[in-house]
């Protein structure tokens, strides 16, 4: 069941740009998302494991000048509901289709990061006619073993305190610079919500149980851009080769001196590369 109503709040981005916080119901689950811009074309941003829509705050204003930007908290994460269920890739892909209907999204450009990238690729491989263009940023799906940075992140999720979160995010960024406390504080707050840890671990187990995504990538005919941080310690950049080789119509851009979230570290450069791709014929 999909409820087609929204409850809207106005929020500020960077003290100047307005975005709306909205809620819809998908299968009786309350789903939160942010929206900005009023173009006829829609750009959907999908966050990674344990994150929320706020992860995209630095690039939303840039994209909103060209697109209607829709940024959900994926089911099980952020401030969306976290039902007791198996968080498999099929579950996320089915959720995405229902969310698009509920939020009036038709044939979007999809930009997914990490887990969001894998979900984006999964959805696009089975719904090629529904996606105009695809951008994947350090997507999961081919790495077979955890890295120390991912281990630290899982530890922070299970035991969300200031030290664990600080350690995890510093490792994931890899720059040695101080992490904004808003990022770590927000992560701690979200991971302390009811069922947050269960959804996190169920997703991890669902990913471990899933087949390597390579075969599904071969069925993607949608024009695709891969962006990867050169110093990504979570999903190292060498894994980009499998994505680029498997997707027929694929471009690749390496973000130098960036870790797992280049859209956080270098939002202007990141956004310019995305816009160059999506605005080209």
Q: Residue 22 sits in a domain of what CATH number?
A: 3.40.50.1820
Contacts of 186 (CB under 8 A, 6+ apart): 52, 54
**In the chain, at which residue ranges do the beta strands (DSSP E only) sit?**
2-3, 9-13, 17-26, 29-36, 42-46, 68-72, 109-113, 133-137, 224-229, 250-255
Q: Which residue has the tokens 């204003």?
A: 61
Determine which of 94-98, 179-183, 264-268 has the lowest per-residue pLDDT on average. Answer: 179-183
Q: Is residue 152 part of a domain?
A: no
Contacts of 149 (CB under 8 A, 6+ apart): 168, 171, 172, 174, 233, 234, 260
Q: Is residue 167 part of a domain?
A: no
d(CA 160, CA 74): 20
pLDDT above 80: residue 166: yes
Q: Is residue 192 part of a domain?
A: no
Phi/psi class of residue 138: alpha, beta or left (left: φ > 0; alpha: ψ in -120 to 50)? left
Q: Is residue 183 part of a domain?
A: no
Q: Is residue 185 part of a domain?
A: no
Give residue 38's domain range: 2-144+212-278
Q: Is residue 178 part of a domain?
A: no
Say which residue, 258 or 180, is predicted with more confidence: 258
How many domains are contained in the chain?
1
Q: Is residue 33 part of a domain?
A: yes
pLDDT, tens only, 232-257: 999 999 999 999 999 999 999 999 99
CA-nearest of 23, 135, 122 to 72 is: 23
Q: Is residue 225 part of a domain?
A: yes
pLDDT, tens only, 104-147: 999 999 999 999 999 999 999 999 999 999 999 999 999 988 99
């Amino acid at each position: 069941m999909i409820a087609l109503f929204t409850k809207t709040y106005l929020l500020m981005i960077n003290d100047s740009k307005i975005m709306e916080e909205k809620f819809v119901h998908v299968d009786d689950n309350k789903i939160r998302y942010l929206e900005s811009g009023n173009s006829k074309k829609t750009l959907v941003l999908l966050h990674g494991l344990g994150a929320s829509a706020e992860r995209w705050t630095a690039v939303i204003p840039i994209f909103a000048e060209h697109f209607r930007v829709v940024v959900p908290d994926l089911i099980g994460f952020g401030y969306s509901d976290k039902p007791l269920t198996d968080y498999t890739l099929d579950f996320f892909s089915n959720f995405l289709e229902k969310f698009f209907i509920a939020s009036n999204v038709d044939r979007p450009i999809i930009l997914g990061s990490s887990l969001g990238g894998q979900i984006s690729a999964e959805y696009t491989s089975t719904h090629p006619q529904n996606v105009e263009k695809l951008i994947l940023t350090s997507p999961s799906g081919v790495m077979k073993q955890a890295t120390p940075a991912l281990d630290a992140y899982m530890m922070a999720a299970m035991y969300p305190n200031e030290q664990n979160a600080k350690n995890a995010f510093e490792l994931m960024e890899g720059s040695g610079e101080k992490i904004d406390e808003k990022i770590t504080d927000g992560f701690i707050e979200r991971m302390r919500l009811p069922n947050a840890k269960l959804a996190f671990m169920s997703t991890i187990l669902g990913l471990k149980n899933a087949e390597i995504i390579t075969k599904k990538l071969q069925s993607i005919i949608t024009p695709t851009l891969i962006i990867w941080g050169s110093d990504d310690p979570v999903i190292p950049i060498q894994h980009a080769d499998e994505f680029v080789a498997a997707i027929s119509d694929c471009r690749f851009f390496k973000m130098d001196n960036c870790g797992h979230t280049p859209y956080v570290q270098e939002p202007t450069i990141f956004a310019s590369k995305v816009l160059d791709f999506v605005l080209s014929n």
